[in-house]
Amino acid sequence: MSGERETHSFYLNLGPQHPGTHGVLRVLLEMDGEYVMEAEPVLGYGHRIQEKMGESRTWNAFMPNTARIDYLSALIYNHGYVGLIERMTGIEPPQRAEYIRVICSELNRIASHLLWLGAFLLDLGAFTPIMYTFDDREQILDILEHVTGSRLTYSYFRVGGVSRDLDDSFIQGTRAFIGRLRSRFNLYDDLVSSNIIFIKRVGDIASFTPDMARRYGATGPILRSTGIPYDIRRCEPYSIYPELDFEIPVGRNGDCLEVYQIRVREMEQSLRIIEQAMERLPEGPFRVKTPRKLKLPKGDASFSVESARGELSYYLISDGSDIPYRLKIRTPSFSNLSLLPELCRDMLLSDLVMALGTLDLVIPEIDR
């Protein structure tokens, strides 16, 4: 913090228990009246040594931990981890399993975006939308609970496939949900997207630039709002994504309004992906048999997936045992949060809360 400003400024703690921080995040602010002069994120209030746990137990025992890193897109975190182990061991999951993984991951992505949408508008003082977004999100949780047995911290994927096959109830429920959500986009458009109060409130606020995003390693909707169409599903394709037809929504101005619009359009694209995967879902096994105790070969490997917030990468070093020698997890929220101090300099405090909400942070993946 600048010493010459101390006589003209004061310090304010935003968090670690402020509802606008969406978890135990503390932001130390240096204020000049209502304007933010400096913003310093203070991390560590919820640190749980996830990577160290990954190095002290078998690779298989770590699977439930992946859901606790980002509990809002836990299935995508499952997907990244099993993809890493399969890459190291050379195990090929059956095609049916790959389709099931993509269907469930995209449902999870929509659920995450719906929660963000409701919470973001709640931060702005609009209470009504969260009732609609949570209503839609509950439909997804019911569908996923049927096949996974869980509603939040999923541990459904397995090396070589998934733990349980889809049944007719899941297929019918998912098809019904696709039609339901598509019919609700008009409602969200009337309630939010075309609401002049919302447009004036979020437009031209917290403008992300391509240069800023690159310097801090920001990914996901934040990066794409600046006009850069970087999405792991297209740039570093994995699973069956290369076989599917979908678009990568991008913006131009990189402000809060465009990030909102991108996330809504991403939900539409996720519905396209799910629909195609359901139509092409092949018959056959949903899992291949793997050894009960599988040792990882010596060496290292990495695997990246596109989570609801951006690029998620796992990097593992093996010494030849069934316990990883080193496990590094690159999460999107940590990098996205890093641009906050530069982004929010000279911004009004009320706008900072909005900018923080736009980042769609999940604090456990920062304090992992």
Beta bridge mates, 328: 315
Q: In what order do the strands lie in the sheet with 299-306?
A: 299-306, 311-318, 326-330
pLDDT at 305: 98
pLDDT at 1: 47
Phi-psi region of 309 (alpha: psi -120 to 50; beta: other; left: phi over 0): alpha
8-40 pLDDT tens trace: 889 999 888 777 677 788 999 999 999 999 999
pLDDT at 161: 97
Averaged over 252-277, what is the pLDDT? 96
More confident residue, 283 or 16: 283
- List of residues 6+ apart from 15 with CB closer than 8 A: 21, 24, 25, 26, 27
Averaged over 55-72, what is the pLDDT? 94
Averaged over 109-127, what is the pLDDT? 94
213 falls in which pLDDT band (50, 70, 90)?
very high
Judged against a pLDDT cut of 90, whether residue 317 lies above it is answered with yes
pLDDT at 44: 86
pLDDT at 7: 57
> Which of 122, 333, 358, 335 shows the shortest CA–CA distance to 255?
358
Averaged over 216-225, what is the pLDDT? 96
In the chain the domains, ranked by start, together with CATH numbers, are 46-366 (1.10.645.10)
Average pLDDT, the chain: 93
142-164 pLDDT tens trace: 999 999 999 999 999 999 999 99
- List of residues 6+ apart from 49 with CB closer than 8 A: none
Residues, the chain = 368
**Which one-letter DSSP state was computed for residue 242?**
G
pTM, two decimals, is 0.95
Judged against a pLDDT cut of 50, whether residue 112 lies above it is answered with yes
Strands 26-32 and 326-330: unpaired
Q: In what order do the strands lie in the sheet with 347-348?
A: 10-14, 26-32, 35-42, 347-348
More confident residue, 236 or 44: 236
Judged against a pLDDT cut of 70, whether residue 270 lies above it is answered with yes
Judged against a pLDDT cut of 50, whether residue 333 lies above it is answered with yes
